[in-house]
């Protein structure tokens, strides 16, 4: 089974977190709200570079890491139809450049106050992370 390393950004601005409603055509978690991440491949450089390359290409912004948190993992069906093991490298981040907006018109970005997170249908890995941070 292939393993995928994914840095995950909890993008914060004060008491708000940036979430994205996932593209129903491309996600195993169709139309649920999620955090932001990128995949590390052999040509991407370091973890922060990999994350920022994906953030800029897909959502028009990049981040700086404020705090490295922990890692999580799950096994799930990927976009290509193969089951893979995902290892998430979680971090609190803030926007360092750009203006968040999705390149894919089927996604939506929204700043959400921590107290309102309970009102969103959040994907399982994001929910675990937000619970660990005591935001849910």
What pLDDT digit, counting tens, does each position of 28-78 carry?
777 899 999 888 876 656 888 889 999 999 999 999 999 999 888 889 888
**Cβ contact 21:33 at 8 Å:** yes
Predicted TM-score of the model (pTM): 0.86
In percent, the amount of the chain with pLDDT more than 90 equals 62
Number of domains in the chain: 1
Question: What is the residue range of 74's domain?
Answer: 3-132
pLDDT at 4 over 90: no
Beta strand 16-21 with 83-98: parallel, antiparallel or unpaired?
A: unpaired
User: How far is residue 112's CA from residue 108's CA, in Å, rounded to a whole number?
Assistant: 12
CATH of the domain at 73: 3.90.79.10
**Cβ contact 69:91 at 8 Å:** yes
Nearest to 81 by CA among 24, 3, 30, 26: 26
- Predicted local confidence at residue 58, as pLDDT: 92
Give the phi and the psi of residue 35 in degrees, each rounded to 5: -85, -170
Name the helix (H) or strand (E) containing 59.
helix 47-59
- Predicted local confidence at residue 90, as pLDDT: 94
Q: What confidence tens digit (pLDDT) does each residue in 81-131 have?
A: 899 998 989 999 999 999 999 998 888 999 999 999 999 999 988 999 999
Specify the 3-state DSSP secondary structure of 17.
Answer: strand
End-to-end CA distance of the chain: 32
């Amino acid at each position: 089974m292939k393993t995928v390393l994914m840095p995950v950004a909890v993008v914060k601005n004060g008491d708000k977190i940036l979430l994205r409603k996932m593209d129903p055509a491309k996600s195993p978690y169709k139309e649920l709200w999620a955090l932001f991440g990128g995949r590390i491949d052999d040509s991407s450089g370091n973890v922060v570079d990999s994350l920022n390359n994906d953030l800029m290409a897909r959502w028009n912004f990049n981040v700086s890491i404020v705090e490295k948190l922990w890692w999580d993992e799950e096994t799930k069906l990927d976009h290509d139809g193969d089951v893979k093991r995902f290892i998430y490298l979680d971090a609190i981040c803030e926007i360092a450049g750009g203006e968040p907006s999705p390149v894919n018109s089927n996604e939506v970005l929204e700043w959400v106050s921590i107290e309102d997170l309970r009102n969103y249908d959040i994907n399982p890995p994001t929910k675990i992370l937000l619970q660990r941070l005591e935001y849910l």
